[in-house]
Amino acid sequence: RGLLTRLNTPICIVCYLAAIVWFMGLAFEPFTLRTDMSENAMGSTMVLLRGASAVPRQGVRSSQKTGAVSTWLVKAMQSRGLEVFTQSFSRKLPFPDENKERYMVRGTNVYGILRAPRAPRTEALVISAPCSPGDSNNQAVGLLLALAQYFRNQVYWAKDIIFLVNEHDLMGTQAWLEAYHHTNITGMEYSPLQGRGGSIQAALSLELSSDVITSLDLILDGLNGQLPNLDLANLFYAFCQKLGVLCTIQGKLQRNDWDTAEGYTHAAQTMMLMVLKQACGRSWGDHGLFLRYHIEAASVRGINSFRHYKTDAATIGRLLEGMVRKLNNLLERLHQSYFFYLLPSLSRFVSIGCYMPAFGLLVVILLLRALDLWVHLGAPALAAVEGVTEAQQPSGPAVLTVLTPVVISHLTGVALYLLPVHLQEMAVEHFPVSETEAVVLTAVAIYTTGLALPHNTQRLLSGEGTEQGWKVLKLTALLYLAVLLGCTALINFSLGFVLAVTLVPITASMTPHMPKALSALVMVLLSPAFTILYCVFIYQELIEAPVSVSEGWMLFLSVISQGILDHALYGSLVYPLLALFIYPCWLMFWNILFWS
Amino acid sequence: MAAPLTLLLIVAVTIRAVLFRSSWAELISERVEVVSPLNAWKRVVEGLALLDLGVSPYSGDVFHETPFMIYLFHFVVDYAEIVFMIADGITAVALYLSIQTYNKNVFRKQKYALESDRYPADCLELLRSPKEMFYIPLKVAMFYLLNPFTILSCVAKSTCGLNNAIIALFILCTLKGSALLSGILLALATYQSIYPLTLFAPALLFFLQRLYIPVNLRRSSFWFFTLQYAFIYVGSLVVITGLSFFLLGSWDFIPSVYGFIFSVPDLTPNIGLFWYFFAEMFEHFRLFFICVFQINVFFYTIPLSIKLKEHPVFLIFMQIAIISIFKSYPTVGDVALYMAFLPAWSHLYRFLRNIFLVSCVLLACSALFPVLWHLWIYAGSANSNFYYAITLLFNFGQILLVSDYFYAYLRREHHLTHGLYLKKKDGTEATLVLK
């Protein structure tokens, strides 16, 4: 313990550097594991692929012009021998979504069920394709219908297969899933489902944005950073290899030259993209909402990257057929392989045991600092006991001085969480802004006001802060942050890690005795809001679409509005986590800096 | 001192009332950490419904409360929330008064010892001043009422709160010196959940000490009082059980309550050590391991009673803690009861070795329970092993906490007799080892 106290700062710095190095090392191929199919039922069975062709996409296109997609779809599905049902839903967004230009949403989901001829109908698989008016996902709907026609004539289905065409992408999926499982967590209005299959085992979502497909991208990141079982990714990869289809993850092809610098950078970029996408906690495809219901799901997105090599629809059909047939063979839910992983490429993965140490090293810093403070707090107390119990006296006021900033910080957090959406009407009345801007700007305003608020009120309430006061406060805040980050990292590793990387250095080193202006600047630059800003820039850099500062700022604002919308519509937890916990925790450290 | 206590009670009741009215109440009452099959409110309601239909509440495998409990709620089911709040209030006040009494006794003893010069000269700093002892009863009440564990337990309407009230009243009566009431309440507590049986030893030791009867097996006065107290205890236990029989007209409740506690048929995960083991175990070893696990609770009574026979109140604390760690269906309400005693031992602070580690572990575990539960049950990405790992860690923290206090208590007593700065024979500074 003595050693830990004496060498505290160097150990902390070493830990931080080690964490970063460890994390970057994860992308290095020798440190990763090969993905292997772990599920027996999907491993060695032979699947003979014949494939569906003749994609009837003309109908979709023509009926879209007349605006009667759902009626046409019902007919088309019925003519292919499915049990067809429709479901209508409506939802008023808390404020207009400017990215997708929607406010009052009304839509219809069409789904057809192919009943399993070979088994009791207790289990089901879902193939879904989003289709909205004006959307260019016709290819996928056409392929879906072709698959339905082909599947109808086969006899080996042991699970019901549900073909779902959902309108308004995620909102349609959300309405359908909630109706299927008889829940309503987000206040969406929808009509009940008329027909249903068994419990859904797995789902695939299909997005083909153009007529020409050169490669297929697999999307795994779901709501709140949840990932499907790794076997689903393995399955996709195995079939891509078999059929000779170019497959990517995060839009990045795989490279074989891991021992060169470019190869490593490529893998690191792929992994960073995954981390950033996962950290933002939104669902990156329709599959993301399935994961919440314990259904393994992934999205397959066709990409036209103007390569020479092209994949025709029949090949994609064969690929899907193969995947569905393997899933059809499942005897139990996918559970053999990993649920916590990062993918530097499709054939390599990093498991939880490998990446957790990187995060652990960061949290250890917080604990070490807390231990250090504890020892410092304890030492004078012990000395004071000898002259009759002076140590006991300050404990009363100390609790109060700690409690005040904690309560005030959290009240600010609650304000940040509640006010933006509730105050939008007032803001629109008084300022020349649209509703969406009003919400985002209110959030930014409250965030900034929070910086001025806590230490002023604290000074007003309890006068001069004592030396012991801030140490107790810092101890509390450090432990609080450590527990908070730990819990976050368990649910969403990437979010926890990104927050830890930016928050740990300032929180570990913050004392009231540092030069105020400089450290205040550093603190603000490493605050949660700026973390989001950096993530926006890094993300744009990684997808090779760099943005200027002003564009970046606009993107930042839209990310905030999307975050709030995701929370309201789908129950994403990132916004409440940041507003109610991380931000108040950061404010506590801000408070320490200005401890008088 | 009545004013702060009243204020504290008002604050505590307000918090609970607000939570009862919020949407959280339902969520909390579903948490496995807060309610166990033994004391879940849902099951009480089920039992009441069966009783109203004229069916024995113990038919089926849902209801495991004692007959007294169901008849109590038969009359006050509409005021259940108030009953639970009152129970918490009673517990807090009882603890407050008992610790006040205990502190008075301790101070008086210390004064006598000081006057007769029994303490070594360098131990004066270990003595306790009335000033620091003044707020301890209030702190104890505060630790109980404002402990998040207690609040959760109360909002979930876990009947654990009522059991805690009975145990707290038992402690109060014991410390006030009423052998009759103490015996009756101990019987009632035993009747409720069996495990408080182990509190018989500390209560007996306390009365013996109070009446200046030495613990000597050859003395007739010792046997006389022991038999007297045991008679009160066993007598009231028999009476209570008999009454239950007449209330229900059948012995159904014996297997359904006590059999359920001992044989652990319900393996719903909780914060205890039982569920995972018995879910994993081969069926034919079950009986053996049940014996091993259950003996844990009772076994420590004997060595602890011998070691702490001069300090029965501390022994009560140790016993309650051991019960809450090793019982078959523990909930956070049980943990809250022994944690309320911690301020009473605040003078041991300087001898505690692991308090920082322990508080970190307990804090982290409390936060991780719901997270891992979510990952296991809802997200499906983690599994029971993750949850059990946290359970193990939580219990490890508790055991460390209790043993740390035990060591600190013994060490202080040792210093009080042998002086604070111990020297080895060769003059170097000595360290104490717990043996």
What is the per-residue pLDDT across A60-91, written as a single tens digit (0 to 9) for each? 555 555 556 778 888 888 888 888 888 888 88
Looking at residue A63, its pLDDT comes to: 56
pLDDT, averaged per 10 consecutive residues of chain B (435 residues), comes to 86 91 87 88 90 86 88 88 92 93 90 83 78 86 91 91 93 91 93 91 90 83 90 94 88 88 88 88 88 88 88 92 91 92 88 86 91 86 87 93 92 82 61 57
* Listed range (A258-272, A542-556, B210-224, B414-428) with the worst mean pLDDT: B414-428
A479 close contact with B: CB closer than 8 A: yes
Q: How confident is the model at residue A305 (pLDDT cuts 50, 70, 90)?
A: confident
Sign of CA dihedral B223, B226, B232, B235: negative
Name which of B129, B350, B375 is nearest A490 (Cβ-Cβ). B375
Closest-CA residue of B relative to A489 is: B371
Given CA atoms A78, A80, A86, A91 in this order, what sign does their dihedral have? Answer: negative
Q: Choose among A385, A479, A491: nearest Cβ to B375.
A: A491
Kindly determine whether residue B371 and residue A382, on different chains, have CB atoms separated by under 8 Å: no
Per-residue pLDDT, A398: 59
Residue B374: list chain A partners with CB under 8 A.
491
User: Cβ B371–A374 below 8 Å, yes or no?
Assistant: no
- Please report which helix (H) or strand (E) contains residue A408, including its range: helix A395-422
In 3D space, the residue among A137, A312, A145 whose CA is nearest the CA of residue A207 turns out to be A137
User: Could you give phi then psi for residue A460, rounded to 5 degrees?
Assistant: -65, -40
Closest residue in chain B to residue A336, using alpha carbons only: B381
B380/A491 Cβ within 8 A: no
* Cβ neighbour number for residue A431 with a 10 Å cutoff: 11
The 10s digit of each residue's pLDDT in A189-238 is 888 888 888 888 899 998 887 777 888 889 888 888 888 888 888 888 88
Tell which B residues from 107 to 126 touch A, by Cβ distance under 8 Å.
125
For A200, the enclosing helix (H) or strand (E) is: strand A199-208
Residue A4 tokens read as: 């830990």
Count CA within 13 A, CB hemisphere, residue B367: 18
The chain B residue lying nearest A374, using CA atoms, is B356
To the nearest 10°, the Cα dihedral for A476, A479, A483, A486? 140
Task: Count CB neighbours of A64 within 10 A.
Answer: 19
Q: Tell me if B368 and A490 make a contact (CB, 8 A cut-off).
A: yes
**Radius of gyration (Cα) for chain B, nearest Å?**
23
Q: Within 13 Å and on the Cβ side, how many CA atoms surround B40?
A: 19
Smallest Cβ–Cβ distance between B356 and the set A227, A333, A371 belongs to: A371
Residue A541's pLDDT is 86
Phi, psi dihedrals of residue A162, rounded to the nearest 5°? -105, 125
Strand A123-130 vs strand A160-166: parallel, antiparallel, or unpaired?
parallel
How many residues are listed for chain A in this entry? 596
Mutate to test the interface with B, among A483, A485, A572 (most CBs of B within 10 A): A483
Q: Which residue of B has its CA nearest to A483?
A: B364
Closest CA to A253 of A286, A227, A215, A223: A215
- Mutant choice from B146, B381, B383, B384 vs A, greatest count of A C-beta within 10 A: B381
Cβ B129–A479 below 8 Å, yes or no? no
Instruction: State whether residue B378 sits within 8 Å of chain A by CB.
Output: yes
pLDDT value for A389: 36
Interchain proximity B129–A226, CB inside 8 Å: no
Residue of chain A minimizing CA distance to B133: A392
Task: Using alpha carbons, select from B317, B81, B313 the residue that is nearest to residue B176.
Answer: B313
Q: Does the distance separating the beta carbons of A370 and B371 come in below 8 Å?
A: no
What average pLDDT score do residues A564-582 get?
88
Q: Taking CA atoms, what residue in B is nearest to A476? A: B360
Burial class of B75 by CB neighbour count within 10 A (0 to 12, 13 to 18, 19+): exposed
Of A232, A221, A207, A239, nearest to A303 by C-alpha is A207
- How many angstroms separate the Cα of A162 from the Cα of each of A68, A115, A136, A289, B161? 22, 8, 22, 16, 50
Give long-range contacts, CB 8 A cutoff, 24+ apart: B372-379: B372/A490, B373/B31, B373/B32, B373/B269, B374/A491, B375/A490, B375/A491, B378/A292, B378/A294, B379/A226, B379/A291, B379/A292, B379/A294, B379/A339, B379/A491
User: In which region does residue A255 sit, left (phi positive, over 0), alpha (psi from -120 to 50) or beta (all else)?
Assistant: beta
* Nearest to A280, CA basis, from A451, A499, A70, A109: A499
pLDDT of residue B424: 60
Q: What does the pLDDT read at residue A316?
A: 83
Sign of the alpha-carbon dihedral angle for B391, B397, B400, B405: negative
Residue B151's DSSP bridge partners are none
A295: closest CA among A236, A239, A223, A345?
Answer: A223
CB B408 within 8 A of CB B352: yes
* A335 contact residues in B (CB cutoff 8 A): 380
* ipTM of the shown complex: 0.84
Token pair for residue A264? 């490593």
* Residues from chain A contacting residue B375 (CB–CB below 8 Å): 490-491
Tell me, rounded to whole angstroms, the distance of Cα B252 from its chain centroid. Answer: 27
- Interface probe for B, chosen from A392, A403, A471, A481 (most Cβ of B below 10 Å), is A392
The nearest CA of chain B is from the CA of A102 a distance in Å of 30
Q: Cα distance from A519 to chain B (closest Cα, Å)?
A: 29
Q: What residues of A are in contact with residue B364 (Cβ under 8 Å)?
A: 482-483, 486
Contact in structure between A193 and A117 (CB atoms under 8 Å): no
**CB contact, 8 Å: A549 with chain B?**
no
CA distance A339 to chain B (A): 5
Q: What is the distance between the alpha carbons of residues A148 and B10, in angstroms, rounded to a whole number?
A: 66
Q: Which residues in chain B are contacts of A291 at CB distance < 8 A? A: 379
Q: In sequence order, what are the residues at sequence separation of 6 or more whose Cβ sits closer than 8 angstroms to the Cβ of residue A9?
A: none
Distances (CA, A) of A495 to A226, A278, A440: 11, 7, 21
Query: B98 is written with which tokens?
Result: 């008992």
Sheet of A348-351, strands arranged across = A33-34, A348-351, A341-345
CA B335 to chain A, closest CA, distance in angstroms equals 21
Is residue A52 predicted with pLDDT exceeding 60? no
- pLDDT, tens only, A10-22: 888 888 899 888 8
Q: Do A486 and B378 touch (CB under 8 A)?
A: no
Looking at the DSSP bridge assignments, the partners of residue B24 are: none
- Comparing B105 with A102, the larger pLDDT belongs to B105
Taking CB atoms and an 8 Å limit, are B363 and A339 in contact across chains?
A: no
Instruction: Work out the pLDDT band at A385, boundaries 50, 70, 90.
Output: very low
- Residues on chain A touching B367 (C-beta within 8 angstroms): 483-484, 486-487
pLDDT of residue B316: 93
Task: Kindly indicate the confidence band of residue A324, based on its pLDDT and cuts at 50, 70 and 90.
Answer: confident
pLDDT at B411: 87
Phi, psi values for residue A530, rounded to 5°: -70, -30
> Among candidates A37, A130, A77, which has minimal Cα distance to A329?
A37
Considering A95-109, A460-474, B156-170, B373-387, the range whose residues carry the highest mean pLDDT is: B156-170
- B363 contacts on A by Cβ (under 8 Å): 479, 483
- Which residues does residue A123 pair with via DSSP β-bridges, in sequence order? A199
Confidence of residue A387 (pLDDT cuts 50, 70, 90): very low
CB contact under 8 A, A491 and B371: yes
A486 touches chain B (CB under 8 A): yes
Mean pLDDT of A313-317: 80
Partner-chain residue, chosen from B132, B364, B374, that has the shortest CB–CB distance to A483: B364
More confident: A440 or B149: B149
- How many CA atoms within 13 Å lie on the side-chain side of B139? 15
Q: In what order do the strands lie in the sheet with A215-219?
A: A189-190, A83-97, A102-114, A160-166, A123-130, A199-208, A296-303, A215-219, A247-249
Cα separations in angstroms, A210 against A56, A243, A306, A526, B126: 15, 20, 11, 41, 82
Chain B interface includes A76 (CB < 8 A): no
Buried b / exposed e over B383-416, threshold 16 CB at 10 Å, is ebebbbebbeebbebbebbbbbbbbbbbbbeebb
* Interface touch B382/A339, C-beta < 8 Å: yes
Q: Tell me the DSSP string of B102-118.
A: HHHHHHHHHHHHHHTT-
| Cβ-defined contact of B363 to A490 (cutoff 8 Å) | no
| Subunit contact B374:A491, Cβ cutoff 8 A | yes
Strand A160-166 and strand A247-249: the pairing is unpaired
**Residue B374 burial by CB count (10 A; 0-12/13-18/19+): exposed, middle or buried?**
middle
Residues 323-362 of B with CB under 8 A from A: 350, 356, 360
Stronger pLDDT, A99 or B64, i.e. the higher one: B64
Shortest Cα distance, chain B CAs vs residue A304, angstroms: 34
Give the mean pLDDT of chain A: 81
Residues of A in contact with B356 (CB under 8 A): 370-371, 374
Contact B10, B92 (CB under 8 A): no
Distance of CA A375 to the CA centre of its chain: 39
pLDDT, position A24: 86
Q: Which residues contact residue A381 at a Cβ distance below 8 angstroms, ignoring those fewer than 6 apart?
A: A391
Range scoring the smallest mean pLDDT among A72-86, A250-264, A275-289, B304-318: A250-264
Chain A: residue nearest B363 by CA? A483
> What pLDDT does A460 receive?
59
Asked if the C-beta of B368 comes within 8 angstroms of chain A's C-beta atoms, the answer is yes
For residue B381, the chain A residues in CB contact (below 8 A) are: 226-227, 339-340
Q: Any CB–CB contact under 8 A between A292 and chain B? A: yes
Question: Is A340–B381 a contact, with Cβ atoms under 8 angstroms apart?
Answer: yes
For residue A596, the Cα-to-chain-centroid distance in whole angstroms is 40
Element holding A353 (H helix, E strand)? helix A352-386
CA nearest to A220, candidates A196, A246, A251, A241: A251
CB pairs below 8 Å between A and B: how many? 53
- The residue of chain A with its CA nearest to that of B132 is A392
C-alpha Rg value of chain A to the nearest Å: 27
d(CA A336, CA A130) in angstroms, rounded, equals 30
